[in-house]
Amino acid sequence: MSEERAGTASVPSHVGRAHADTQPCVAYVMSRFPKLTETFVLDEILGLEARGIRVEVFPLWREHADVVHPEAKAVVDRAHFLPTLDLAILKDLLDALRLRPRVLLGTLWVLLKANWRSPRFLVGALAIFPKAVSFARRMQALGVDHVHAHFASHPAAAAFIVGRLAGLPWSFTAHGSDLHREQAMLAEKVAEATFVVAISEYNRRFILDRVDPSFADRVRIVHCGVEPERFVRAVSPAEVFEFACVGTLHAVKGQRTLIDACAGLERAGIDWRCHLVGDGPDRAALQERARALGLQDRIVFHGALERGGVREVLGGVDVSVAPSVPTQDGRREGIPVVLMEAAACALPLVGSRLSGIPELVRDGETGLLVDPGDVDGLVRALLRLAEDPELRRRLGAAARSLVEQEFSLARNVERLESAFFTEERAA
């Protein structure tokens, strides 16, 4: 990709490191790109660019997928995909060792010391170290003003390395499993980051419980967001009670709980249909579970869909369900963006009483909460909504209003822009 991108824009008055006569630039670091389920990363990038910010994309790995959101294709074409190691990266590593040996070796020592009790994370951190060193050189050449990583795990570790070697301010967003599975190096990252984004109050409290309380002002809540105007109810509800669960087919999403709850709906004698949107490692097992319960004709497996297809499904159902559960290996949801998308469709929400989900699914206000893995509780919630169209309407309207007020992409991108470029840096 060319190191120059066309386009200039007016610069916000609060821009700090960026000069008034140049386009401010942010580098985004993420684990994989373009990842179908991480629309929040793509939307932030596009939202910042719409506000006149140049965004350089530095994925740790390239995601190869059969389905890609149309909006992602142009970003993919200009992203900085680097191999784990090649001659150019090796040269950057040797140059850094020659020019800044104490910084380079000191950073490597921090990685070793902070991660030695977590072999899995340590191996990953060492694997990305040469690439992150090369990122630092490239970001300097591109005139990057701020580095932002999505996920508290290896992307934040890469930003940590870049920050030390390039002297650039950096930050990271903590979501769900990336924060809860392991906290290796979390304290070091928070201590050196310019600021930290928590997507929920739950995540903010979780972080502050594990780091020095003096960093409280550094950890900020900025929600992921959606564009409510892009979501509408496409059709009028039919006689059949229809509900959708959108997400990777993985244990953490709780689709097994939902399928078992569907058996309860069948016993209750109502006319229903369940839509499962997404793909993943549990697809075959979930399909077999549906067949074992005799529900294969009632449960529709749509597979992976780009966002237009997701909007179409959400527009034609009565309820959106997120039956998330924590897994034995520590995986845990943050606030599923698909619930925001469903709320933007004015759908009532059913979600688990888990992590930050209750901050969006407010019990009796925007939806109904159930305990994680509680099949009977999920059956009761779905039956209540199936039998009460007025309740669905009231909850759905409130969900839409909440998204407009607190989970709007435009509002939260503006908050990020201000955080990236303000002159007042946290100590």
pLDDT for the residue numbered 237: 55
Residue whose token pair is 């991660």: 115
Do residues 334 and 355 lie in contact, with contact meaning Cβ atoms separated by under 8 Å?
Answer: yes
b/e sequence 126-162, b meaning 16+ C-beta within 10 Å: eebbbbbbbbbbbbeebbbbbbbbbbbbbbbbbbbbb
pLDDT for the residue numbered 158: 97
Q: Which two tokens stand for residue 421?
A: 């470029």
Q: Cβ atoms within 10 A of the Cβ of 87, count?
A: 7
Alpha carbons 154 and 122: distance in angstroms, whole number: 10
Alpha carbons 398 and 365: distance in angstroms, whole number: 7
CATH architecture of residue range(s) 25-225+408-421 = 3-Layer(aba) Sandwich (3.40)
Per the document, the length of the chain is 427
Q: Which two tokens stand for residue 21?
A: 């006569």
Let me know if the fold of 25-225+408-421 is the same as that of 229-406.
yes
DSSP string, 377-416: HHHHHHHHHHT-HHHHHHHHHHHHHHHHHHSBHHHHHHHH
pLDDT for the residue numbered 10: 31
pLDDT for the residue numbered 6: 31
Kindly list the domain boundaries of the chain, sorted by start residue: 25-225+408-421, 229-406
Dihedral angle computed from the Cα positions of residues 274, 279, 284 and 288, in that order, rounded to the nearest 10 degrees: 0
Alpha carbons 99 and 316: distance in angstroms, whole number: 60
Fold exhibited by the domain 229-406: Rossmann fold (3.40.50)
Alpha carbons 132 and 60: distance in angstroms, whole number: 8
How does pLDDT run along the chain (427 residues), one tens digit per residue? Answer: 333 333 323 333 333 344 445 889 999 999 999 988 889 999 999 999 999 999 999 999 998 877 788 888 999 999 999 999 999 999 999 999 999 999 999 999 999 999 888 888 899 999 999 999 999 999 999 999 999 999 999 999 999 999 999 999 999 999 988 898 878 899 999 999 999 999 999 999 999 999 998 999 999 999 999 999 998 876 555 689 999 999 999 999 999 999 999 999 999 999 999 999 999 999 999 999 999 999 999 999 999 999 999 999 999 999 999 999 999 888 899 999 999 999 999 999 999 999 999 999 999 999 999 999 999 999 999 999 999 999 999 999 999 999 999 999 999 999 999 999 984 444 3
Residue whose token pair is 């170290």: 129
